[in-house]
Amino acid sequence: MRQPNESPAPEAAPPDATGARILVVDDDPTVAEVVSGYLDRAGYVVDRAEDGPAALDRAAAHRPDLVVLDLMLPGMDGLEVCRRLRENGPVPVVMLTARGDEDDRILGLEVGADDYVTKPFSPRELVLRVQSVLRRARPGPGIRPLHAAGLVLDPAARRATKNGAELALTLREFDLLAFLLAHPRKVFGREELMREVWGWDFGDLSTVTVHVRRLRGKVEDDPARPLLIQTVWGVGYRFEPTGTGTGPAGEPGTFDRAGEGGGTGTGAAPEGSTGRA
């Protein structure tokens, strides 16, 4: 395992750190010690585990508020650990990857990771990512629930249901769905969604594609023919609150074959068509 880059420790604990329990899972003792030290100095309660089974045992004994999880664990890898953690209830996960490989990032997002950091990394950056994910996970007061097409999203409680059944959404999935419900029938390009939903001015556009695909799997009756989260060919995505309508090819929820390629910040047609969104 490559070690994180050293940098000065945070000087003061953020106000949202009080009492938050973080589980750090990494088989490299140096990385685990450095990361745990920074999180501890930032005001978090830190648990550590060196492999997948130990991480699941720790999480069962003391439910963490967030898990910092290395992807390349011996035996049970980080992807399987993430899957099993989320089977037992929603818990935010920040994934550590040993390289900036796009497949690793997409796999992590597919199994429910809320963010990822590539090694070697600055521990200060990791602390900031943890703070950001925890802030998104906390209920926001005074926000009214959103209702459409059998979906009910309560932003204050961070709770989503469809036809009364609870939806198991990650933080990013919840924020994306809430944004789309709040702007029905309006088309957004992937870069625009990254900026408006997650506050990113740049990043991997496949992140949006992955989350749209995951959301469709949870809110659509037939994810292969989506009626709620529709793709506008060559432009982006829109939410259709009636669950009806046709895409430009005359079929419900027409797939955007440019959805995996690049794009522009203006919602123009993405380039480099490679597959379905």
Give the tens place of pLDDT for each residue, 221-249. 999 999 999 999 889 999 999 866 544 33
Q: What percent of the chain has pLDDT over 70?
A: 74
Sequence-separated (6 or more) residues with CB below 8 Å from residue 55: 23, 25, 49, 67, 69, 81, 85
Which domains, ranges and CATH numbers included, belong to the chain?
A: 15-137 (3.40.50.2300), 146-239 (1.10.10.10)
Identify the CA nearest to 195 among candidates 207, 185, 184: 207
Per DSSP bridges, beta strands 45-49 and 93-97 are unpaired
pLDDT in tens, 247-265: 433 333 333 333 333 333 3
How far is Cα 256 from Cα 88, in angstroms, rounded to an integer? 34
Two tokens at 68? 């910092």
Sequence-separated (6 or more) residues with CB below 8 Å from residue 222: none
Residue 142 pLDDT class (50, 70, 90 cuts) = low
pLDDT in tens, 85-101: 988 877 899 999 876 56
Query: Is 124 in contact with 8 (CB distance < 8 Å)?
Result: yes
DSSP 188: B
Average pLDDT for the chain: 79
Question: Half-sphere exposure of residue 258, counting CA atoms within 13 Å on the CB side?
Answer: 17
Two tokens at 201? 């001015």
pLDDT in tens, 164-199: 999 988 888 888 999 999 999 999 999 999 888 877
Residue 2 has pLDDT above 50, yes or no: no
Higher pLDDT, 84 or 158: 84
Higher pLDDT, 98 or 145: 145
Residue 200 confidence (pLDDT): 67
Q: Which H/E stretch holds residue 22?
A: strand 21-25
pLDDT in tens, 42-69: 999 999 999 999 999 999 999 999 999 9
- Segment 138-148 mean pLDDT: 76
Helices and strands in the chain, H and E counts: 8, 11
Beta strands in 149-189 (DSSP E): 151-154, 159-162, 165-166
How far is Cα 246 from Cα 250, in angstroms, rounded to an integer? 5
Question: Half-sphere exposure of residue 187, counting CA atoms within 13 Å on the CB side?
Answer: 16
